[in-house]
Amino acid sequence: MTEVMDSNLVEYKLLLENLRTRLNVLNTSIFLLENNLNQTDDKTYKYLKQINKELEKIRRLIIDVPEDLLND
Amino acid sequence: MQENKTEQYNDIEILIIEDETDVRESYVDMFGFMGVQVDSASNGVEGLQKLEQKHFDIVLTDLNMPVMDGLETLRRIKKKDDKIEVIVITGFATIENAISAMKQGAFDYITKPVSFDHVKIVLNKCIQKIYAWRENIALKNSNTQLKELNELKDKFITITNHELRTPLAVLRGYFDLLEMEIADKETGEYIEIINNTINEMMDMVESMHNLSSFKNYGRIQKKQRVDLNRIAAETAREVKILYDQRKIALELRLASDPVQTVVDEKMIHKAIREILGNALKYTQESGRVTITTKNIWESRQVFLEIKDTGIGIPKKKVNLIFEPFYEVQDVLHHSTSKTDFMGGGIGVGLSLVKEMVESNGGEIVVESTPGEGSNFTIVLPLARH
């Protein structure tokens, strides 16, 4: 089977690469932000918890799932 | 008769239909030397019975036979499966029958007395035709499989993009709430970076739906007068956290005057971001990356140069780095991280940078010394005053 990437797949991989870089920036920035905040405040704590939860969902969508698909 | 087997065609099956026993056996010996799988039948009826039990690629049949002659056998074989090639054997006096057989789909004819060399030539031609047909079928099948796989991937891409929007939107929402609780001087810088990054991710996921081809990255959306100093500073601010993590210095040496050019700002921003990402990947800890901007009044151009003290690029490979899917490091260095030193990637970044810069009327130049670092320069036209 010839290895031909259709353009959609190329763009998708590039999108993933860019999203992963930005996710990295987000994770680091939020980590640094957390270190600077007073987390005894209930609201702050709750929002940060949700933010980290959504970040984990995004991480799974752009790292774990595509690896299975693209490594066939 | 030749002693040696000259060709090996052991994936080809031949059926010989010949009523004279000695002649039939001599054909079997002849084809055996050629390495083909051979079976035989003494008349057309027997031949057709054998064809019911097993597939043959080629049938060699005498035209002049009792019970069922060669022409009738040919007709019935072609009716059963027209992909079976039939070669007829005829006496010289009955050449019209051979021509009639050709018109009814025979591949070729051989005249008696049969010459081994002639048989070999005809058979080789027939076998090449069969191989070409098989290869065509294999290509069609793999094309179908590839299409199905791509359809599956396309479907997945659509679903993933849709599913990415939701957590991104939720993230945006919670971050907006958090921002209302905490905004102060100390956290302001992080908040700005987080905001910008979330916006970029949302833009990217949205734009994925509009992407229809690789060349979209070269498609200008909107050209306007921009100051490269500003774009360079903004992009540097975005990636600084990653550089700090890797303990690599990121320095700006911007021209004192505005460095103005007319370009698609988003595209140039992406190009600079990609080169900075590359510099980060290939520069070791304690290294340095410097962004410089210049106006070159004499040639009416502007430069933006990104210089790193990284691993550099071997001389022979410098021209290849802008080819799609090319990666300088070997596969042993692959890692899933795109920002770790020598982290992996799919290698399309620089090819797209080239496309993006060129579609804005510019060019990208690279100089590199292995072990010392690389210097990427984006050259763009100076905006008119």
Give the range of the structural domain holding residue B195, as residue numbers without chain letter: 142-217
Encoded tokens for B172: 């945006």
Encoded tokens for B226: 């921009």
- Residue numbers in A near B153 (CB within 8 A): 8-9, 12, 69
**Whether residue B168 is found in the same domain as residue B90:** no
- Residue numbers in A near B174 (CB within 8 A): 47, 50-51, 54
**Mutate which: B323, B346, B351, B354, vs A, most A CBs within 10 A:** B346
**Whether residue B43 is found in the same domain as residue B153:** no
Asked if pLDDT for residue A9 goes beyond 80, the answer is no
Q: What is the CATH number of the domain that holds B276?
A: 3.30.565.10
Task: State which of B114, B131, B161 marks the end of a domain.
Answer: B114
CA–CA separation, B47 and B116 (whole Å)? 23
Asked if pLDDT for residue B332 goes beyond 60, the answer is no
Cβ proximity of B62 and B17 under 8 Å: yes
| Interval B1-36: pLDDT, tens | 444 444 567 788 999 999 989 888 888 888 887 788
Sheet bearing B249-253, strands edge to edge: B249-253, B288-296, B301-308, B373-381, B363-369
| Interval B159-206: pLDDT, tens | 666 678 778 888 888 888 888 877 665 677 888 888 888 888 887 777
Give the N- to C-terminal CA distance of chain B in Å, as an integer: 89
Cβ proximity of B264 and B360 under 8 Å: yes
Asked if pLDDT for residue B293 goes beyond 80, the answer is yes
Q: If you compute the radius of gyration of chain B from its CA atoms, what whole number of angstroms results?
A: 36
**Whether residue B15 is found in the same domain as residue B108:** yes
Range with the poorest average pLDDT among B148-157, B230-239, B273-282: B148-157
**Whether residue B229 is found in the same domain as residue B303:** yes
Is residue B328 very low, low, confident or very high in pLDDT (cuts 50, 70, 90)?
A: very low
Tokens 């004819």, located at residue: B109
Is residue B212 very low, low, confident or very high in pLDDT (cuts 50, 70, 90)?
A: very low
Is residue B259 very low, low, confident or very high in pLDDT (cuts 50, 70, 90)?
A: very high
Q: What is the pLDDT of residue B160?
A: 65
3-state secondary structure of A48: helix
Q: Are strands B363-369 and B85-90 parallel, antiparallel or unpaired?
A: unpaired
Does this model's pTM top 0.80? no
Sequence-ordered list of residues with C-beta below 8 angstroms from that of B170, at least 6 positions apart, any chain: A50, A54
**Whether residue B152 is found in the same domain as residue B35:** no
Cβ proximity of B15 and B85 under 8 Å: no
**Whether residue B233 is found in the same domain as residue B376:** yes
